[in-house]
């Protein structure tokens, strides 16, 4: 066994001393950082979508602008409050009208805050608060004149930074001018609002089909753009148009908005769970996160085996191609050589996966620190000893099982090309485990999940994925013993193949020859 440890140490040193190992070690954290940072940077560098609106209705565009202004004021008030709490120096650099608006909003409770926003955005002046009476026009003037450069400098966010409306060019050939602007890239899109977006035809006292036809969509309303993939502008504008038209329809039918909301309100079923003592308790965020958290551990094992598979398959090819395998087996038994390679390569792979796990844990803790109480369930699940112990056991046993299997299989290859051709057939159990993950997460204690738990190549993946259930204790014990037995059988089978395969050169042995090696005494 001492010779096996010597081989393992040498294999480990050779693996971790290469540049490729350190590139693989840093690849996942870099990929995760890029996956988070690149979309944010690209979104920040995207120019505002310039659009125009031809309003044949004579009233809908004004209502949409008022709704946009109201939503901007709501977001602006929240940004000002956060800036007042966290960056007082930046808050003091704001224009005086914004500081006055933020101060007036902070002094009110939640109900009166909404009333202030509605009064500022409304054309009427029923609100008699001092700020609305004195500063309403001044705030609207700032909102109208503020440029995107001003907003970026003040670290504020308004809708015009994403969607900027331009005035329709005057003249009789309005649509021709807009079409030319789109073709030349000066305009992203334009909307045409029909004369009757509400719909006034039909008889509400008639049957359902006639009543529906009264409020059918206006066919003359159009959206014109050459970009058919970016639908954000269209959906954003249509949302405001739908809300404004719906309010008018409710008013015409004499239906109060509160009544409409009550009619459309859904029936809500509160989630409950049965505890260990038979009592019914509320489902906390931690319980929901815990149901899906094992899938993260399962993916981690899958990535660990998948990324190490090529390294495990090719661990003997260099010695065989350099004709130094004969020298090695003259001083080390094939079994010790196999054990050393499995331990050495597996140790290097586990270092990579361990670093990834630490980065993942650090990211979760950082997210919890940023988000606050909303992420407490995430951190509690990440530090749950029950899940961590299950993850450690099944991860180690599963990795050793596949390591023995892949090293023994790789001893049959005589070139890198052969190992690459053998890669995907060897990964079939991993693909089956990956495809079954969603079903097992939804039904961790179902019949299919229990059956797959006792198929050794799938056992570590399935049992880790079932930890959110969790399965009965006897299944943990039985599958752990099954994995230990499977590793022992895999090592013995791999040793028999390894003993002959490491010295085999030329053509790859057939399946019948490999079977004969396995059955030989």
Supply the pLDDT for residue 215: 47
236 pLDDT band (50/70/90 cuts)?
A: very high
Alpha carbon distance 432, 424 (integer Å): 12
Tell me if 348 is assigned to some domain: yes
Helices (H), 314-446: 317-321, 325-331, 334-371, 376-382, 385-410, 416-426, 428-435, 437-442
DSSP 235: H
Please tell me whether residues 297 and 205 are part of one structural domain.
Answer: no
Top pLDDT among 267 and 416 is at 267
Q: How many beta carbons lie within 10 A of that of residue 215, not counting itself?
A: 18
Task: State the sign of the Cα–Cα–Cα–Cα dihedral 225, 229, 233, 239.
Answer: positive
Question: How far out from the chain centre does Cα 95 lie?
Answer: 38
Alpha carbon distance 81, 327 (integer Å): 75
Burial class (CB in 10 A: 0-12, 13-18, 19+), 458: buried
Number of folded domains that form the chain = 2
Share of the chain residues as helix, strand and coil, in percent rounded to the nearest 5: 70, 5, 25
Domain stop point among 229, 251, 271? 229
Tell me if 36 is assigned to some domain: no
Look at residue 371 and tell me whether its pLDDT is greater than 60: no
Please tell me whether residues 225 and 292 are part of one structural domain.
Answer: no
Burial class (CB in 10 A: 0-12, 13-18, 19+), 447: exposed
Interval 435-487: pLDDT, tens: 888 788 778 888 888 888 898 888 888 888 887 777 888 888 899 999 999 88
Please tell me whether residues 18 and 85 are part of one structural domain.
Answer: no
Please tell me whether residues 11 and 65 are part of one structural domain.
Answer: no
Please tell me whether residues 322 and 379 are part of one structural domain.
Answer: yes
Q: Which two tokens stand for residue 492?
A: 């013995």
Q: What angle do CA 57, 58, 59 make, to 5 degrees?
A: 95
Interval 190-206: pLDDT, tens: 999 988 888 764 344 44
Please tell me whether residues 131 and 79 are part of one structural domain.
Answer: yes
Supply the pLDDT for residue 206: 41
Q: Which of 60-74, 126-140, 370-384 has the highest mean pLDDT?
A: 60-74
Whole-angstrom distance between the N-terminal and C-terminal Cα of the chain?
Answer: 22
Burial class (CB in 10 A: 0-12, 13-18, 19+), 419: buried
Tell me if 331 is assigned to some domain: yes
What is the rounded average pLDDT for all residues in the chain? 78
Please tell me whether residues 160 and 223 are part of one structural domain.
Answer: yes
Supply the pLDDT for residue 61: 92
Look at residue 160 and tell me whether its pLDDT is greater than 80: yes
Tell me if 495 is assigned to some domain: yes
Contacts of 193 (CB under 8 A, 6+ apart): 53, 54, 55, 56, 57, 60, 61, 221, 241
Please tell me whether residues 75 and 20 are part of one structural domain.
Answer: no
Taking the model in full, what pTM does it have?
A: 0.65
Tell me if 247 is assigned to some domain: no
Please tell me whether residues 358 and 221 are part of one structural domain.
Answer: no
Q: Which two tokens stand for residue 199?
A: 């719909």
Tell me if 156 is assigned to some domain: yes
Q: Which two tokens stand for residue 440?
A: 């097992």
Please tell me whether residues 186 and 319 are part of one structural domain.
Answer: no
Q: How many beta carbons lie within 10 A of that of residue 365, not counting itself?
A: 15
Residue 50 pairs in a beta bridge with: 164
Interval 111-157: pLDDT, tens: 788 888 888 888 665 555 778 878 888 999 999 898 888 888 888 88
429 pLDDT band (50/70/90 cuts)?
A: confident
Alpha carbon distance 227, 239 (integer Å): 19
Whether 183 contacts 226, CB under 8 Å: yes
What is the rounded (10 degree) CA torsion for 469, 452, 405, 513? 180
Q: How many beta carbons lie within 10 A of that of residue 74, not counting itself?
A: 16
Domain stop point among 229, 244, 270? 229
Residue 361, domain extent: 2-29+286-519
21 pLDDT band (50/70/90 cuts)?
A: confident
Q: Calculate mean pLDDT across residues 290-299.
A: 72
Tell me if 255 is assigned to some domain: no
Q: How far is CA 92 from CA 55, 77, 85, 100, in A?
A: 40, 15, 12, 11
Whether 477 contacts 387, CB under 8 Å: no
Please tell me whether residues 25 and 100 are part of one structural domain.
Answer: no
Tell me if 256 is assigned to some domain: no
Residue 117: name the closest of 98, 96, 100, 136 by CA: 136
Q: What percent of the chain has a predicted confidence (pLDDT) above 70? A: 76
Q: What angle do CA 482, 486, 488 make, to 5 degrees?
A: 120
Please tell me whether residues 59 and 21 are part of one structural domain.
Answer: no
Supply the pLDDT for residue 205: 41
Interval 171-187: pLDDT, tens: 667 888 899 999 998 99
Residue 225 pairs in a beta bridge with: 189
């Amino acid at each position: 066994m001492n010779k096996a440890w010597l081989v393992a140490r040498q294999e480990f040193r050779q693996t971790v001393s290469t540049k490729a190992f350190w590139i693989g070690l840093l690849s996942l954290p870099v990929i995760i950082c890029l996956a988070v940072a690149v979309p944010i940077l690209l979104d920040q560098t995207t120019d505002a979508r310039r659009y125009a609106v031809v309003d044949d209705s004579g009233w809908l565009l004004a209502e949409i602008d008022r709704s946009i202004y109201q939503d901007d004021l709501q977001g602006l008030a929240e940004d000002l409050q956060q800036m007042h709490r966290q960056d007082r120096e930046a808050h003091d650099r704001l224009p005086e009208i914004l500081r006055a608006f933020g101060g007036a909003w902070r002094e009110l409770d939640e109900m009166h805050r909404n009333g202030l926003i509605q009064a500022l955005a409304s054309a009427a002046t029923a609100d008699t608060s001092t700020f609305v009476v004195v500063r309403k026009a001044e705030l609207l003037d700032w909102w109208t004149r503020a440029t995107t450069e001003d907003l970026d400098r003040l670290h504020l966010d308004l809708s015009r930074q994403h969607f900027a409306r331009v005035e329709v060019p005057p003249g009789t050939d309005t649509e021709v001018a807009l079409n030319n602007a789109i073709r030349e890239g000066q305009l992203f899109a334009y909307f045409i609002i029909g004369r009757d977006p509400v719909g006034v035809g039909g008889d509400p006292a008639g049957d359902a089909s006639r009543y529906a036809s009264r409020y059918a969509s206006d066919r003359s309303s159009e959206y014109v753009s050459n970009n058919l993939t970016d639908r954000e502008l269209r959906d954003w504008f249509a949302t405001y148009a739908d809300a404004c038209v719906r309010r008018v329809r409710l008013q015409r039918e004499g239906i109060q908005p509160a009544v409409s909301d009550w009619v459309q309100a859904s029936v809500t079923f509160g989630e409950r769970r049965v505890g260990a003592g038979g009592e019914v308790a509320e489902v906390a965020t931690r319980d929901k996160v815990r149901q899906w958290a094992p899938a993260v551990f399962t993916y981690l094992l899958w990535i660990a085996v998948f990324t190490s598979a090529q390294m495990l398959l090719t661990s003997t090819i260099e010695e065989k191609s350099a004709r130094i395998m004969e020298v090695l087996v003259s001083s080390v038994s094939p079994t010790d050589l196999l054990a050393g390679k499995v331990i050495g390569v597996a140790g290097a792979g586990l270092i990579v996966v361990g670093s990834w796990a630490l980065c993942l844990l650090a990211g979760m803790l950082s997210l919890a620190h940023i988000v606050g109480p909303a992420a407490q369930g995430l951190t509690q699940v990440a530090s749950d000893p029950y899940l961590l112990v299950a993850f450690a056991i099944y991860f180690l046993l599963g990795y050793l099982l596949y390591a023995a299997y892949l090293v023994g299989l790789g001893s049959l290859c005589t070139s890198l090309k052969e190992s690459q051709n053998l890669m995907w057939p060897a990964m079939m159990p991993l693909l089956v485990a990956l495809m079954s993950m969603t079903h097992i997460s939804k039904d961790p204690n179902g019949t299919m999940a229990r059956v797959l738990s006792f198929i050794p190549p799938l056992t570590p993946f399935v049992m880790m994925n079932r930890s959110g259930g969790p399965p009965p204790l006897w299944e943990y014990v039985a599958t752990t013993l099954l994995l230990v037995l499977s590793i022992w059988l895999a090592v013995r089978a791999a040793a028999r193949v390894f003993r002959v395969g490491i010295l085999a050169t030329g053509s790859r042995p057939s399946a019948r020859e490999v079977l004969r090696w396995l059955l030989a005494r």
